[in-house]
């Protein structure tokens, strides 16, 4: 069994992954600012990475600013790679988004530009890397409701997605750790293509009655349909409807 550092191990996906890794018998260290590790300054990073066999990156910074997103994700990836190289870590695993390095997707929002720069920075390093790319998780439907609000009206972009159960994403990250180095890319998608505004409307109907969802057209192809997976993605067959109303 391995010693695994989960960066962002206190976050939504990081916590799921850390718990599953422990259940699989790994020794797990959860790293985040609240545990004394700051990937933006490098504070505590060398110390936490020393002695690790694997580092899993589940970090996040929610922003639409390209400068902020690129600064955070690219800067963190460079620091993590440098710390991992110094410590002789054998395997890095980073959580990413399907198609995010596609030019139309990466230029569609500042956030995607940041995530694409994160992948690039990891690939530029010398530590064996697995990029785990997933489609949007079902839980994102709840986030959509709060993003652009005018009173009780939520404006949600009409984007085509193949959303996936978050547990499947966590399981694939654990699988990536178990495989060890040598698998550069794993991709995951859900079973059905859905519209983001329909997902938000379904969540509003089930959990937030009184909130009205209005779908807004998206002019950019990268956002409208660029987040759909290619044919090589693993498909988890749990549906959004079953997740919402178990
Ligand atoms: N949501 C989706 O549908 C989806 C789909 C595919 C991929 N992803 C990717 O999944 C990743 C994780 O997302 P999430 O929603 O699980 O994130 P999250 O819940 O926002 O958690 C972020 C984690 O990063 C840590 N963190 C933030 N800034 C830090 C810093 N400067 N130094 C150290 N730790 C820091 C946070 O802890 P502290 O605040 O304590 O530092 C927290 O543990 C993201 O990169 C996202 O792009 C998401």
Q: Which CATH architecture has domain 3-244?
A: 3-Layer(aba) Sandwich (3.40)
Separation CA 224–CA 29 (nearest Å): 38
**pTM, to two decimals:** 0.97
Q: Is 39 in the pocket of ligand 1 (CB under 6 A)?
A: yes
Rounded CA-CA distance 85/79 in Å is 10
Assess whether the C-beta atom of 14 lies below 6 angstroms from ligand 1. Answer: yes
Can you list the pairs that 46-49 forms with residues at least 24 positions away whose Cβ atoms lie under 8 Å? 46/83, 46/86, 46/87, 48/5, 49/5, 49/80, 49/83, 49/84, 49/86, 49/87, 49/89
Supply the residue whose CA is at minimum distance from atom 36 of ligand 1.
Answer: 8
Closest approach atom of ligand 1 to CA 10 = 43
Asked whether 137 lines ligand 1 (CB < 6 A), one says yes
Q: Whose C-alpha lies nearest to ligand 1, atom 45? A: 60
**Reduced to 3 states, what is the DSSP secondary structure of residue 82?**
helix
**Tens of each residue's pLDDT in the chain, 246 residues:** 899 999 999 999 999 999 999 999 999 999 999 999 999 999 999 999 999 999 999 999 999 999 999 999 999 999 999 999 999 999 999 999 999 999 999 999 999 999 999 999 999 999 999 999 999 999 999 999 999 999 999 999 999 999 999 999 999 999 999 999 999 999 999 999 999 999 999 999 999 999 999 999 998 888 899 999 999 999 999 999 999 998
Q: 118, exposed or middle or buried, with CB in 10 Å at 0-12, 13-18, 19+?
A: buried
Pocket test for ligand 1, best of 6, 7, 11, 74 (most atoms within 8 A of CB): 11
Check if the beta carbon of residue 132 is closer than 8 Å to that of residue 176: yes
CA–CA distance, 61 with 52 (Å, rounded to integer): 24
Q: Is the CB of 71 under 6 A from ligand 1?
A: no
Cα-to-centroid distance, 170 and ligand 1 (Å): 13
């Amino acid at each position: 069994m391995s010693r695994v550092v989960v960066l962002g191990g206190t976050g939504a996906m990081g916590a799921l992954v850390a718990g599953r890794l422990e259940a699989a018998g790994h020794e797990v260290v959860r790293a985040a600012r609240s545990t004394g590790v700051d990937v933006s300054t490098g504070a505590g990073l060398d110390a936490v990475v020393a002695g690790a066999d694997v580092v899993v990156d589940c970090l996040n910074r929610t922003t639409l600013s390209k400068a902020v997103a690129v600064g955070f994700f690219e800067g963190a990836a460079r620091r993590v790679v440098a710390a991992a190289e110094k410590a002789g870590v054998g395997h890095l695993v980073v959580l990413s988004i399907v198609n995010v390095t596609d030019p139309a997707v990466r230029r569609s929002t500042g956030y995607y530009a940041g995530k694409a720069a994160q992948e690039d920075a990891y690939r530029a390093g010398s530590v064996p890397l697995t990029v785990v790319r997933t489609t949007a998780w079902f839980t994102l439907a709840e986030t959509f409701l709060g993003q652009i609000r005018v009173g009780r009206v939520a404006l949600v972009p009409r984007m085509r997605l193949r959303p996936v159960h978050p547990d499947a994403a966590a399981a694939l990250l654990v699988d990536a750790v178990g495989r060890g180095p040598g698998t550069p890319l794993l991709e995951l998608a859900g079973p059905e293509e859905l519209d983001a505004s329909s997902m938000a409307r379904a969540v509003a109907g089930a959990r937030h009655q009184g909130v009205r969802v209005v779908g807004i057209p998206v002019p950019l192809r990268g956002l409208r349909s660029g987040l759909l997976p290619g044919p090589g993605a693993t498909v988890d067959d749990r549906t959004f409807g079953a997740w919402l109303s178990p």
